[in-house]
Every structure is written in C-alpha cells, then in structure tokens.
Amino acid sequence: MSLRAEQITAARDVFAGLGEISTRRMMGGLCLYHRGTIFAIVMRDGAIHLKAAGEIIAALAAAGATQWSYRRAGRAEPTRMPYWTLPAAAYDDPEIACDWARRALAQL
C-alpha cells in the first residue's frame, strides 16, 4: 500500500512554514526535501520521521520520539536508521513541526 494523496498533503502542510518543499516517492513512502536536503520521510501509514544527527537526537528522545528500526534476516540486533518519529504535538501544530525540522536540518 502506498500513501494516499491526503497523507501527502498533510505532510506538506505541516512543514509549509519551511518554504519550498520537494518530494520523491520511495518504497511506498515519501521523502521530503528542503533546499535539496532530505529532512523527513513519510511512512506508508502516514507517520512522519525526521532525519536526525547530532544534538537533536537527545531532544527528540526526550520529547518521546522513537528511532526507526527494523529486523534484517539473519541478524539478532535490529538495524537502526537515522530517522526519528516526529513528536506527537508537532502533527497538530505546524510551528512546532517546522521548529523540529529546522533543528534537524541544522545538524545535517
């Protein structure tokens, strides 16, 4: 199953305050770019994950975000990706979402 049009619109709307956002469909989800830098992925279920590096990781974890991980065949430990769930409050408040995105982009 791939993303529905309204899920894509919702993701773009929550980050509209960043300015120009470009997108690219990938593996049933959607990559979000700002000025050519990928900063988030919208998963098939509509969940938004911010790409995170550096100091923002601790802040995201403190806000209740979780790191995207998955199990690979033949491995005991999960594979962890550099993407963290967008904190819940940010889905309903574009100012909060854009603040998180700006903070993430500053570390990329």
Q: In which band, very low, low, confident or very high, does the pLDDT at 52 lie, cut at 50, 70 and 90?
A: very high
Residue 40: CATH number of its domain: 3.30.1460.30
Query: Looking at the 3D structure of the chain, how many domains does it have?
Result: 1
pLDDT (0 to 100) of residue 2: 78
Domain that includes residue 59, residue range: 5-107
Residues 40-57 have a mean pLDDT of 95
Q: In which band, very low, low, confident or very high, does the pLDDT at 1 lie, cut at 50, 70 and 90?
A: low
pTM of the model: 0.90
Q: Could you tell me the strand order of the sheet in which 79-85 lies? A: 21-26, 29-34, 37-42, 48-51, 79-85, 67-70
pLDDT (0 to 100) of residue 90: 95
Average pLDDT along the chain: 93
